[in-house]
Chain A
């Protein structure tokens, strides 16, 4: 096995959040505080960049009492270690706040780790944002040079690639117009064009593909694929699971600052999708307030193949688990699920009576599962309304429960992901 090009060892990063503001309760308190504040502010500001050893001293100073305790510290990354081989394309996935961006910021040397070490054996370029340093008053031409040098290119290098960059961006006509007169699409195209012509050995990319129109996104993805095929090492952060699945053979799953899986992308996606949602799906679970109801819904949970989840790939298998308790015998009970999209449109209705399945009318606790072999909704976010009723009427109903999202996926196995969001469902089709 070749020597790794990136070695990350026990990388940790702490941040201080907090900086709670003092709020005077009375006018007098506010005035007094204006004069007392400088001392406190100075301590807080000094504290802002100090950790570990000095913390104890800070506590000694009584700063802890003011809320600058260790409770203010969050570990954005905790003891992350992995190695990347030259030419590998690694997709970094994780939920919001998992530490993905922090990891890229450390690797690109924007911020330094609190502990641990990274060794990079090659030239690094990072693309955490397109158009960093663009100045609205400068022309397209001037911004190409400015942005290029900011990203680490030399002037001669930009000279050489200038025509290529302009061609890629499709803004030839407006090259000498200040970019503030550009449409946002032109702006993004120009910005990405510059970034796309970087030639580092290691490229770090953060969610930059979520810009521009569909055809431009496709072009960006194509460029990313080309970069990967050229044998460069790429670390790619994205929420676009289909793009990750397509571009990256290897994945790294971060969760709450820790690297939980590192390996083949399929394994990583599975692990990611199985992460217990922090807020969503469990929200539907609640203890019934009134025991008088004849039947009570106690929870609605979504599962993919094995695990509880709130994220599904388009056209994948979905299982809705409906938990409920029957307190008094029911007469021909039935359960209905309605799936709503983010616009509030009822997309589909699912009901036990349709399939001829009869839930037990007897008193007791039940858990029914409803399997949908291919959930062909278009990518987006959805939620459910769930009700349990019988012949005498509705027993219980949950609104806006079990939120989940459907992600784009490579459903045809072509290496491309679905781009269309038109309509509400995805029809699996074939052409001849």
Chain B
């Protein structure tokens, strides 16, 4: 039923140049077309700029929102978990212990939420013009970095206030950010692709984010988790990343090599799975959105 390449070189004199674009039904495994993606890098850049510029338009507090969210969550957690529940914080003040994690987590939660809803939200684009669809869910993963940086400034202020200074391992910080982006990107891709068909995902994401937060050492240290569960616990890639953030910035624990090694492997797997799944289903987006 599907006419394959064969038709072009049978009978008809062969044409020298191969077609620039061949359109036919694709099925199964699709590879990421990096060359094409490179051609569209300006689009990615402008979409990121658009997201950043539009995000706090017509708000009073503007960019301050990037600080308010993690900061007030930290205040609430400090009251309930730090003061009331007396949860240990690896020997450093609970507020900074928690805020360090919240900065990263707020980025992560926002990224997967926006990314997960991005394809459905861009229906008008997807049904009207062609471009590599993968750009859409990846945009929030990049655009969120600005908020992350703003919130990070407050963290620096808090470090000065509490007199906590990082050691040399702080050089690993960019790697941690990269890992965080990989996980957020991978999860965002899967959610965005699923959401296109099953709109349940939209309602699932807030749950997912909350469950995941409690499965990650945000309000408590990883050291509270019993030894025998540590391996399973570390399968959550965010565990190693958050503990890594605390280690390099606050010196709470020694650099968590093993946990981070696991996080890295899992982050790469998650991202690749995200890309592969997304590429496989993107062809029907325009038909069902």
A: residues with CB less than 8 A from B are 3, 7, 9-10, 15, 45, 48-49, 52, 105-124, 126, 128-129, 132-133, 135, 137-138, 142, 145-146, 149-155
Contacts and interface: CB of A to CB of B under 8 A. Distances in A.
Given A45-B198, A110-B126, A111-B287, A116 B54 contact: no
B131 A9 contact: no
Interface string B34-45: 000001101101
Nearest to A50: B284
18 contacts: A9-B7, A48-B288, A110-B127, A112-B25, A113-B24, A115-B24, A117-B3, A117-B4, A118-B21, A121-B19, A129-B128, A133-B129, A135-B54, A142-B49, A146-B50, A152-B40, A153-B42, A154-B42
A128 B129 contact: yes
A119 B22 contact: yes
A150 B131 contact: yes
Interface of B: 1-4, 7-8, 15, 17, 19-26, 39-40, 42-43, 45-47, 49-50, 53-54, 57-58, 124-131, 197-198, 281, 283-284, 286-288
A49 B7 contact: no
Contact of B2 (A3, A115, A145): A115
Contact of B24 (A107, A108, A116, A149): A116
B53 A48 contact: no
Nearest to B288: A48
Contact of A126 (B25, B50, B130, B286): B130
Nearest to B15: A3
B125 A150 contact: yes
A132 B125 CA distance: 6
B196 to A, nearest CB: 10
Contacts of B8: 7, 119
A149 B46 contact: yes
B23 A106 contact: yes
A145 B50 CA distance: 10
A235 B201 CA distance: 39
A3 B13 CA distance: 10
Most buried by B among A3, A10, A110, A138: A110
A112 B130 CA distance: 11
A49 B287 contact: yes
B3 A119 contact: no
A111 B46 CA distance: 24
Contacts of A48: 197, 288
A187 to B, nearest CB: 15
A126 B15 CA distance: 25
Contacts of B2: 115-116
Given A115-B2, A118-B23, A137 B129 contact: no
A117 B54 contact: no
A108 B1 CA distance: 22
Contacts of A110: 126-130, 286
B3 A150 contact: no
A107 B23 contact: yes
B24 A112 contact: yes
Contacts of B7: 9, 117
